A and B are shown apart, each in its own frame.
Chain A
Amino acid sequence: MNIKLNLVKGVYVLSLFFSLPIVAQAAKEQDVTVSIAAESYGKMPLMLSPLGQEAQDLAMLVDLAKHDLSWSGQFDISVEHAMTVLTKKELFAYASRGFPLVLFIQRESDGKSFVWRLYDTTQALMIKGKRLIKKGPDARMWAHELADMLWPVLTGQEGFFTTKIAYCKEVKCKRKRPNKYLCVADYDGSNEVVQVPTVVVAPRWGKNGLLFYSECTNSNIRLKYIDAQGKTHIASNFDGLNMLPSFSQDGTISVYCASRGNGSSQLYYCAPGVFKQLTHNDGNNVSPSLTADGKKVYFCSDYAKGKPAIYCMDIDSGAINEIISSGLCPYYSDKVHKLVYIKHVQGVGQLFIYDCSSGSTEQLTFDTFSKDECSWSSCGNYIVYSTGCLPKSRIAMFNVWSRQRYWVTSDTAVCTYPALSQANVAGSTQSLGILIL
């Protein structure tokens, strides 16, 4: 009897054993997936923590980096000094205080470089760490470089803090008409430097930090450029106007507009060993913007309808297609494959975007200030433009994602023709030597 009972018990235990996973599966709670959309936007708290002994250059770097990172309005930066590398408990304490990210910046003993480490305090893990070598004596450049290094890690976007902005600034002269000087400033308008104290218009950045501009002379408007050492060179000196060059990705191909004494502005194509006229019409063809591969050029022309429209030209075939029936100042971005342009809506120039892949357009601005001369940043997140009714005009930056506007120049100065350089232009000294005719 006992054997039988044991047998029965054994079989039932076995059956229970095999049924356990099924029961466990049934007992498992339901997985609920909830999808949440944001009602409002906020700032990401970030703790900047200079590590080790206090030093003047370290303090300057932290202050400037704080300014850079908080400029876009995406971060809420706090600074707190720490003496040693923190333990896990102390890192978790940061998380409980509402700082999920902590950036430790340490000055190296030789004084030639800094080391930064970014920590996730919720898990007490180091996300990334790098060394920043001092380039030059200017602490601003260190901070901009640091911000450029951090920005892709934090936001997944390309850094733009080392970008320079060139523009024309009106300077009043005694008993004379005001002159337009060429100025270069940091991305936020700080550290303004007057590059060329003559009457200049329409600066454009070439590759590797070359800055092109058109200078007014008694006989013509000639195209010049200034290299990284500050020396000026003549690029194009035909009769009439020589303006607005645009470059391909590698900088070997360019398109610019010149009238050559004929009255109407035409587009000209420059490549190593090649110089040809692209447009042959009676209209004015201006504001060329070349694609990265140098095979297409977007430009503004009034040759067909008598009013400005935006066209796309295939350089190899010479075919011209109208893409926007009414628009001005097209500027193409390789990064986002989009075209920004100005269109007048009820008499007010507004920023528009044309998506080259889908063909859709979108209005970006709706305020009452008229915009002019827009261009993309190299990262594709910002558009710089001049706004306001003349004689008052100031330069503003527009964030494409947050739709926020940042003033670059003050409201007292009259600034026009803004152009953004590529990031890290300061270190470039190489001259390509093209477009010199």
Chain B
Amino acid sequence: MLHWPLNEHNKYFLLLELVLVSAFFHGILGFLLFIVYPKKQDSFCIELGKTKSPTLFMPLRSTMPVARAARSSRRGAGRGHITGGKTHGSKPAQPLEERAPVVRKAQLASDVTLGFQDKKSDKQTLTSKKKDSKIKKAPACQKSRQKKNAHEARKPVKQAKNTKVNSKIELKKKQSEKKELPKNSKQEVMEPVKSVQPQIQSEPEPVAKPIAKEPETIQEQKEIQQGVQQETLDIPDDMLFEQVVLGNDPVDGEYISAEQARMYECIEQEIVSRWRPPCGLSKDLVCHIKCSIGNDGGVDLCTTEKSSGVLIYDMAARMASLAMKLPRWAWGKDFTIVYKQ
């Protein structure tokens, strides 16, 4: 760009180019800021009067220890549970026998012993489970599958037709050969369609096939299977349920809510012991206090965003805020605390 000769035309061209380049980068920046990483405002509601808090805390690391997952599944039963750092609504629990066949139990047992190592392995288990489900659905959806296969089979026919058009140009003179050629092509294409049906029939036994292919390792595999079955007996039902849910739900890496939950927990612990409003006031009083945390963890600035209308209530809220001491992650941040009775 800079090696261009300096004349009027190139000068304007350079300016235009610069404007375009800067606009391009601005566009990327804007895309990143507003679409990929948009600013999110979150609010939490802590109900301390209740015996159980509905808050769930999610691990920040991608590999979740299975034992914790089991615990979380117990806690989150009926409310929500954790799947790879993202909360999902509770689903109606199905009977375990329906959900987890023997083969899957074996896979689950291996998961239990090894834990989650990679997302790839998760994806693999996902795909295998999907295959299993497809296999189960195969007899019911056989007609639709046949249609799909037929559709797939027609694709080569179309390709053949295209080739036929080309061949028409080349072989206009030989009309008798033209009629034979498509017939042959059709026969060639239709052959795999015929062979689809036996493949579908053979699909419901995917596990038995490899064992049959290797007769030497049958005993070993039987032993492994027995061991696996023994292990599966030791697995608690909650864990199985959790694994199944993990397998079915999408996994992504959004840990924002987990971070916020930790913040929420920390602020709650700090304030709860200090927030003691005076008695004998209306239960509907609400006071919003905005706190700016300084570089020492203390509250630098404390302003009443929304007053309750009662001086002693506001003062009690402000005193509770000023006494707050937060850890390093909160330094320099602003929090709005809503004080309720």
Contact = CB atoms under 8 A, between A and B. Distances in A.
Contact of A381 (B47, B49, B271, B280): B280
A128 B22 CA distance: 58
A401 B37 contact: no
A4 B338 contact: no
Q: Find the residue from A35, A36, A44 having the highest chain B CB count within 10 A.
A: A36
Interface SS, B side: mixed
Interface stretch (A26-34, A104-112, A205-213): A26-34
B318 A34 contact: no
B319 interface: yes
B278 A44 contact: yes
B322 A34 contact: no
Interface in A9-40: 11-12, 14-15, 18-19, 22-23, 25-26, 28-40
Interface SS, A side: mixed
Interface stretch (B38-46, B82-90, B166-174): B38-46
B309 interface: yes
Interface string B8-33: 00000011001100100110011001
Nearest to A5: B2
B6 A44 contact: no
B26 A15 contact: yes
B211 interface: no
A25 B336 contact: no
A320 B302 CA distance: 56
Interface string B302-341: 1000000111100110110010000000001111111111
A101 interface: yes
Contact of B312 (A4, A35, A101): A101
Contact of A37 (B14, B49, B302): B49
A402 interface: yes
B275 A8 contact: no
Given A26-B37, A42-B316, A44-B316, A33 B2 contact: no
B235 interface: no
B333 A32 contact: yes
Contact of A75 (B29, B40, B278, B333): B278
A11 B22 contact: yes
B269 to A, nearest CB: 11
A22 B264 contact: no
Contact of A33 (B44, B322, B333): B44
A182 to B, nearest CB: 30
B18 A8 contact: yes
Given A5-B2, A33-B336, A38-B48, A22 B30 contact: yes
Contacts of B339: 36, 38
Contact of A15 (B22, B263, B318, B333): B22
A44 B15 CA distance: 68
A30 to B, nearest CB: 6
Contacts of B271: 34, 36
B13 to A, nearest CB: 12
Q: How large is the interface on A (under 10, 10 to 19, 20 to 34, 35 or more residues)?
A: 35 or more
B277 A41 contact: yes
Interface stretch (A150-158, A189-197, A270-278, A417-425): A150-158
Contact of B319 (A31, A74, A122): A122
A282 interface: no
Nearest to B37: A26
Nearest to B310: A156
B185 interface: no
Contacts of B25: 15
A246 to B, nearest CB: 27
Q: Find the residue from A1, A3, A30, A404 having the highest chain B CB count within 10 A.
A: A30
Interface string B44-79: 111111000000000000000000000000000000
Contacts of A11: 15, 18-19, 22
B2 A4 contact: yes
B341 A34 contact: no
Interface string A94-127: 0000101100000000000000000010100001
A218 to B, nearest CB: 47
A404 B2 CA distance: 84
Interface of A: 1, 3-5, 7-8, 11-12, 14-15, 18-19, 22-23, 25-26, 28-44, 72-75, 98, 100-101, 120, 122, 127, 153-157, 381, 399, 401-402, 404
Given A18-B26, A36-B272, A37-B340, 16 more contacts: A1-B6, A8-B2, A14-B22, A15-B25, A30-B41, A30-B42, A33-B336, A34-B43, A35-B45, A35-B337, A39-B276, A44-B315, A122-B318, A127-B311, A154-B311, A402-B280
Interface of B: 2, 6, 14-15, 18-19, 22, 25-26, 29-30, 33, 37, 39-49, 260, 263-264, 267-268, 271-272, 275-283, 302, 309-312, 315-316, 318-319, 322, 332-341
